[in-house]
Amino acid sequence: MQFTRLLRNRSVTVEEMSQHAGTLTGGRAAGRDVVAIQDTSELALGGRRAAAAGYGIVGKGGAARGLLLHPVLAVEAGSGALLGVVSMQVWNRAEGVRAPRRQRETKAKESQRWIDGARQAGAALSQARSITAVSDRESDFYELFARRPANVELIVRACQNRRIETSAQEAEGLLFDFIDGQPEQGRFAATIPAAPGRPERDTELALRFAPVTLRRPLHGADPTLPETLDLTLVDVRETSAPAAGQPIHWRLLTTHPVATGPQARRIVDLYRQRWTIEEFFRTLKTAGFDIEAADIGEPQAMINLTAAAAIAAVTIKQLVQARDGTTDQRLGDAFEPQDQPILEAVSARLEGKTQRQRNPHPKASLAFAAWVIARLGGWTGYYGKPGPKVMRIGLDQFRAIKYGASLGL
């Protein structure tokens, strides 16, 4: 009942939760090279009943109703360790007639979220050594590059076959045609992670890269934007067709300088960290919280629940990521200082006599906490690896223990 009242309290807002989470993440990011990954996910909450409750359209066809979530997550560039939420937007799509897309300014479109995400990353992560904002094809629009913060570099997977300036003999060309005509500049081996309908596979990727000068779009672009933008295009594609699924082919537009093969490879490696946000959405939806099954008829309360669950899902993802000790993260990346003695006391109680029943990780590490949380969630230490559901159950148990400790019980 208290939690329900909290969700319906008008003083509780996504903006406040986002700002608090961003402040904590900014502290963890200080002095690090950080990748700020942003993406949008639709939360399908029903059909006619959800429509009657006031939920807007999501998905194709207009039958499904729900909310949209757009988080920005901070990941350490070197290790891939998830540091936390930078910012997030949750909204209910409004009904009604709107002006044609090309007649509306960007701030009146949903695409404004990409610009806001980059701006919020620049502000929240200002103490980081470097910030690279990474996003997929939906974010490929001219204004995002033109209005990026000075302290934020961009890597965007290209969607539009844009007009570019070419040689003096040709007034302009097309982006994709230009890079397709460039010679290969290197190959490297890579492992493509498993996804629904696609097993993990080892493959070979070919690289092409070149500086490009984009021309401002002829239609719909703000005429006050610069007429041209100088970027680099990094093209990476599989050299052979996989047994299942489509071959990898990414065209990556970046503000980073790229003059050598290793620099181009780094752009690809930074973009590949975007997979973290896909795993985060999976944790929030099917693998951990099942947020789309929440039966809340009031959109504003559901918006607040989504924001709170998103912050919790990041912690779950951090614990799953840290369980093997490979990210070398500190305990403070996900827990408060006063949590450490409680975690150590619980660990001592949970440890058994055999080596596999003992916590193998340093006490101040996030891996140490992941072992404790997994055991509280029902993992025995013997079979398999603890996943998001186990971590969620264990984290609930830990919070109950922490609350009891605060009462002196």
**For the packed helices 366-376 and 388-406, what is the interaxial angle rounded to 10 degrees?**
90
Q: What is the pLDDT of residue 220?
A: 76
Residue 244, judged by CB atoms within 10 A of its CB (0-12, 13-18, 19+), counts as exposed
Residue 329, judged by CB atoms within 10 A of its CB (0-12, 13-18, 19+), counts as buried
Q: What is the pLDDT of residue 409?
A: 53
Q: What is the pLDDT of residues 23-64, one digit of tens each?
A: 999 999 999 999 999 999 999 999 999 999 999 999 888 889
Q: What is the pLDDT of residue 175?
A: 95
CA distance 305 to 143: 32
> Cβ(343)–Cβ(375) under 8 Å?
no
Q: What is the pLDDT of residue 78?
A: 87
How does strand 173-174 pair with strand 65-76? unpaired
Mean pLDDT over the full length of the chain: 91
Q: Which fold has domain 2-293?
A: Transposase Inhibitor Protein From Tn5; Chain A, domain 1 (3.90.350)
Cβ–Cβ contacts within 10 Å for residue 231, how many? 22
Q: What is the pLDDT of residues 305-335, one digit of tens each?
A: 999 999 999 999 999 999 998 888 999 999 9
Q: What is the pLDDT of residue 257?
A: 95
Q: What is the pLDDT of residues 67-111, one digit of tens each?
A: 999 999 999 998 999 999 999 999 999 875 455 555 567 776 899
CA distance 14 to 20: 10
pLDDT < 50: residue spans in the chain = 97
Domain boundaries, the chain: 2-293, 323-406
Cβ–Cβ contacts within 10 Å for residue 379, how many? 20
Instruction: Outline where 232-351 has alpha helix (H).
Output: 261-272, 275-282, 299-322, 339-350
Name the residue among 391, 394, 397, 398 with its Cα closest to residue 320. 391
Q: What is the pLDDT of residue 90?
A: 96
CA distance 275 to 354: 36
- Cross-strand bridge partners of residue 84: 74
Instruction: Reduce the DSSP state of residue 57 to 3 states and report it.
Output: strand
